[in-house]
A and B are shown apart, each in its own frame.
Chain A
Amino acid sequence: MSFRLAALVAFMGGFIALSFEILWFRVYGFVTGGTAPAFGVVLGSYLFGIAIGSVATRRVCGDETERGNLALLRLPAGLIALASLGGFVLVPGIAWAVTVTSWAWTLIAVALLAGMLGAVLPLVSHLGIAPDDQAGTQMSWLYMANIAGSTLGSLLTGFLLLDVLGVRDASIVLTTVGLITGTLLLLASQPTTAQRNRWVATAVVLCVAVTAGGAPLYEGVWERLQFRKKYKGETFTHVIENKSGVITVRGGGHIYGGGVYDGVFSTSLVHDKNMIIRAYGLAAYHPAPKEVLMIGLSSGSWAQVVANIPGVEKLTVIEINPGYLEIIPKYPEVASLMTNPKVDIVIDDGRRWLQAHPERKFDAIVMNSSWHWRGHITNLLGREFHEIVRTRLNKNGTFQYNTTDSPNIKRTGCEVFPHGFRLVNNLVLSNDPVAMNPERWRKALLAMKIDGKPVFNLDRGQDRKRLREVLSIRPPNWPKNKNSPWHNSCVNIVNGYRKAGHPILTEDNLVTEFSHPWYWTP
Chain B
Amino acid sequence: MAATAASPDAPAAQSSEPGATLPLPVLYGVFLVSGFAALVYQVVWQRGLFALYGVDIASTTTVVSAFMLGLGVGSWIGGRLAANPKRSALLWFAGFELGIGAFGWVSLPLIAAVGQFTAGASGPATFALTFGLVVVPTSMMGATLPLLVSHAVRQLNNVGKSVGMLYFVNTLGSAAAAVLTAVVLLRALGVAQTVTIAVACNVLAGLTILAAWAISRRAS
A: which residues have CB within 8 A of B?
1, 3, 36-41, 43-48, 50-52, 54-58, 60-64, 66, 69-70, 72-73, 118, 121-123, 125-141, 143-144, 147-148, 150-151, 154-155, 158-159, 190, 243-244, 320, 348-349, 351-357, 376, 378-379, 384, 507-510, 514-515, 517-518
Would B53 and A352 count as touching, CB distance under 8 A? yes
Can you list 11 pairs linking A and B with CB atoms under 8 Å apart?
A36-B182, A36-B186, A41-B183, A44-B178, A51-B168, A131-B153, A139-B145, A147-B142, A154-B68, A376-B51, A376-B55
20 additional A-B pairs beyond A348-B54, A514-B186, beta carbons within 8 Å, are A38-B182, A40-B182, A54-B168, A70-B1, A126-B2, A131-B4, A131-B158, A131-B159, A135-B82, A136-B81, A136-B147, A136-B150, A137-B82, A140-B76, A147-B142, A158-B57, A320-B56, A355-B52, A507-B51, A510-B186
Would A66 and B120 count as touching, CB distance under 8 A? no
Would B163 and A64 count as touching, CB distance under 8 A? no
Nearest CB on A from B203, distance (A): 22
Q: Which of A123, A141, A155, A379 contacts B65 (CB 8 A)?
A: A155
Nearest CB on B from A128, distance (A): 6
Main secondary structure of the interface of B (DSSP, over half): helix
Taken residue by residue from 102 to 128, chain B's Cβ proximity to chain A (1 for < 8 Å, 0 otherwise) reads as 000000000000000001110000000
Of B6-14, B19-27, B129-137, B206-214, which stretch is located at the interface?
A: B6-14
Q: A48-B172, A140-B82, A376-B50 are in contact. Are A349 and B55 (CB under 8 A)?
A: yes
Would B159 and A135 count as touching, CB distance under 8 A? yes
Nearest CB on A from B139, distance (A): 12
Q: Which residue of B lies closest to A388 (CB)?
A: B119
Would A61 and B164 count as touching, CB distance under 8 A? yes
Q: Which residues of A contact B190 (CB under 8 A)?
A: 508-510
Would B83 and A136 count as touching, CB distance under 8 A? yes
Would B183 and A518 count as touching, CB distance under 8 A? yes
**Distance in angstroms between the alpha carbons of A409 and B165 in the assembled complex:** 46
**Distance in angstroms between the alpha carbons of A38 and B61 in the assembled complex:** 20
Would A122 and B1 count as touching, CB distance under 8 A? no
Q: Which of A133, A349, A378 contacts B85 (CB 8 A)?
A: A133
**Distance in angstroms between the alpha carbons of A132 and B61 in the assembled complex:** 37
Nearest CB on B from A453, distance (A): 36
B201: CB under 8 A from chain A? no
Q: A54-B168, A141-B79 are in contact. Are A122 and B182 (CB under 8 A)?
A: no
Taken residue by residue from 165 to 202, chain B's Cβ proximity to chain A (1 for < 8 Å, 0 otherwise) reads as 10111011011111101110011001110000000000
**Distance in angstroms between the alpha carbons of A125 and B80 in the assembled complex:** 17
Would A131 and B120 count as touching, CB distance under 8 A? no
Q: A41-B178, A151-B69, A376-B50 are in contact. Are A137 and B146 (CB under 8 A)?
A: yes
Q: Which of A64, A140, A352 contacts B146 (CB 8 A)?
A: A140
**Distance in angstroms between the alpha carbons of A8 and B107 in the assembled complex:** 35
Q: Which residues of A contact B65 (CB under 8 A)?
A: 151, 154-155
B: which residues have CB within 8 A of A?
1-9, 16, 39, 43, 47-48, 50-57, 59, 61, 64-65, 68-69, 71-72, 75-76, 78-83, 85, 89, 119-121, 142, 145-147, 149-151, 153-154, 156-165, 167-169, 171-172, 174-179, 181-183, 186-187, 190-192
Would A58 and B160 count as touching, CB distance under 8 A? yes
Q: Which residue of A lies closest to B48 (CB)?
A: A507
**Distance in angstroms between the alpha carbons of A320 and B53 in the assembled complex:** 13
Q: Which residues of A contact B81 (CB under 8 A)?
A: 136
Nearest CB on A from B145, distance (A): 6
Would A122 and B178 count as touching, CB distance under 8 A? no
Would A136 and B82 count as touching, CB distance under 8 A? yes
Nearest CB on A from B191, distance (A): 5
Nearest CB on B from A23, distance (A): 14
Would B8 and A64 count as touching, CB distance under 8 A? yes
Q: Which of B56, B154, B159 contacts A129 (CB 8 A)?
A: B159
**Distance in angstroms between the alpha carbons of A138 and B160 in the assembled complex:** 13
**Distance in angstroms between the alpha carbons of A18 and B80 in the assembled complex:** 26
Q: Which residues of B contact A51 (CB under 8 A)?
A: 167-169, 171-172, 174-175
Q: Which of B69, B82, B154, B171 contacts A50 (CB 8 A)?
A: B171
Complex A-B, nearest 5 residue pairs according to Cβ-Cβ distance, in ascending order: A40-B182, A140-B79, A136-B150, A126-B160, A136-B82
**Distance in angstroms between the alpha carbons of A62 and B160 in the assembled complex:** 8
Nearest CB on A from B197, distance (A): 14
Q: Which residue of B lies closest to A243 (CB)?
A: B57
Q: Which residues of B contact A517 (CB under 8 A)?
A: 183
**Distance in angstroms between the alpha carbons of A126 and B1 in the assembled complex:** 12
